[in-house]
Chains A and B, each alone.
Chain A
Amino acid sequence: MSSLYWLASYPKSGNTWFRAFLQNLLEDGDKPVVIDELSTGSIASARGWLDETLGFDTADLTQDEIDALRPSVYDWQHDATELGYHKIHDAYTTADDGTPIVGVVGTKGALYIVRNPLDVAPSYANHCQCSLDQAIEYMGNTKHCMAQNKRRLTSQVRQQLLTWSEHVRSWLDAPQLNRLVIRYEDMLNHPLATFTAACQFLELPLDQARIKKAIAFSDFKVLSQQEKQHGFKERPPQTQQFFRQGKSGDWRDKLTGEQVARIIQDHGEMMRRLGYLDVNGQPLVTPRPWCELSVDVERRGDGVACVNQ
């Protein structure tokens, strides 16, 4: 029996926020969980998880060799008795023989969290400590990877992100993948409906009071306040703060018209599909409701959440 649920997203798209929600929901305590103790499951690219399962060091393998072995590691979970919820930033790539990077028999499904790329760009620039233009270049670069240094050992193995559009498409169109897609903006604007849909998909408790409490305990203000007071170990060392804005539409103050145009040029098709552009191709701060997106109607049965406003 498969046991892995992937919490999949391009970086800076709300994955950690969702994990904070999940941990709060599972613990169901009277105060928010400590953000340094988000322990729902290892990230897919954690070297420790791979080494432990394989029985030999991935540090002595090339990045391509590691990619070839990753599916077997996740498939090894096929008879685990407990469900696992694991973050993953890799694109849903496949090996030459068609095996997906996440394997086949170990995977139960994927919750894909997507966020307006106009808002991803400033956040990713901060994460990488690079310029906005550089972040926009990364998001448009099909060769872009995380943890790809070949000259030293990193605690995570290389993750191929592809371009932002390719990343989203790889997960949304992966054949035979049980999946639910939720948008960061719906998590913000329609939290109860969106998180409930996610809980239903992920076989989590559906008690509304409990979900409301977990939403409140993982509110951006709570996460940000905790980080200010006690720090957050997942923060990249050179950045000031991990939980920075937690808003949508921030791009209007952060990006130049040229930068907006470039992102729309690179990713317009996928942005339209996800409701981030209006009928005239202009960017929206509040994305169109899923139900209005004809292209996605067919995907509803396939697991795309239709969160009615």
Chain B
Amino acid sequence: MYYSAYQLTIASELPLPELVQVNGTQTDVTIRFDNVAENGLADGEQLGPFLWAAPNTLWLQVPNVARFLVRNGNEIIIDPADGIDDDSIRVFLLGSAFGALLFQRGLLVIHGNAVRIGDECLICVGPSGAGKSTLAAAFMQRGFDVLADDVVPVNDAGLALPGFPRIKLWQDAAEQFEIVTDDLRRIRPEMNKFNLPVNGVVQQALPIRWIYILGSDHIDEITFEAINGMAKFMPLQNNTYRAKFLHGMQLKSQHLALCGKLASKIRLSRLTRPKLGFTANAMVDAILKDIEVNP
């Protein structure tokens, strides 16, 4: 089957229902099943208990799910664990494995969610649990297009590439938006987390204008704090998707250059929300107001 995501044509032996299907023409990326060495990369560097890297190659094991070998920015080999379901493989394939592939293609990969605002886009970044996906779902409920969920690749020109039309949403967040999850596909059979299809597929890459770093504190109101000049650099580095992959794949200097370029083009702010008594909708309102004041 052939699919499209991140402006790439992907040929995959594993069905990828989250992605848009296309007709097979020229293939940019091949995803196939094969054996992947059990003990990492012979000529590589071990970066974690289940992680190895070498130039243009990343080896990742998700125990009891699959081993992934990602190489040259154009190939992902999957070696599934016995009896594992396709959904479980997909969630890690479309996360870490794809993140590594996009790095290998020379992109800056941001850990966040991108939302279209006119002819530009904003990205919300922050640690796991900061509410990135919930906020993206709130934007979607208000009629905005979601460009990418969790993994946002950015090219040399500071454009965010469109991912694929889904948001991973937890049960509690779905209920907040009165989204009935009965008919939604669980990201993995045993988890209360769902693939929420997003309306409208964005085709073109969009310039990134705003990046918001999400955080929370014991405060009563949502606050914004602009980050200027050289200070923009570190937050971009810190919110890079799986920055550790870069070291082993020797992509660090390229990454620094990309961060520098992006920093000069964006308005970067820290968005702090109250720990209690806020809604994702109120955050959307606050962001839209901030965007209006700071176009």
Contact = CB atoms under 8 A, between A and B. Distances in A.
B173 interface: yes
12 contacts: A47-B127, A48-B127, A54-B51, A55-B48, A60-B187, A60-B193, A72-B50, A73-B49, A150-B191, A151-B170, A152-B173, A155-B129
Contact of B95 (A60, A76, A149, A238): A60
Interface in A76-103: 76
Nearest to B242: A55
Interface string B63-105: 1100000000000000000000000000110011000000000
A133 interface: no
Contacts, number: 82
Interface string B118-153: 000000000111000000000000000000000000
Contacts of A69: 63
B188 interface: yes
Contact of B217 (A52, A152, A233): A233
Interface of B: 47-51, 60, 62-64, 91-92, 95-96, 127-129, 168, 170-173, 187-188, 190-193, 217-218, 242, 244-245, 275-276
Contacts of B91: 60
A40 B245 CA distance: 25
Chain A CB within 10 Å — which of B50, B91, B171, B244 has the most?
Answer: B50
A68 B92 contact: no
B63 A68 contact: yes
Given A62-B190, A72-B50, A151-B171, A57 B95 contact: yes
Nearest to A156: B129
A155 B244 contact: no
> Top 9 closest A-B pairs, CB basis?
A237-B275, A152-B172, A151-B171, A72-B49, A55-B51, A155-B129, A56-B96, A151-B172, A153-B129
Interface string A112-151: 0000000000000000000000000000000000000111
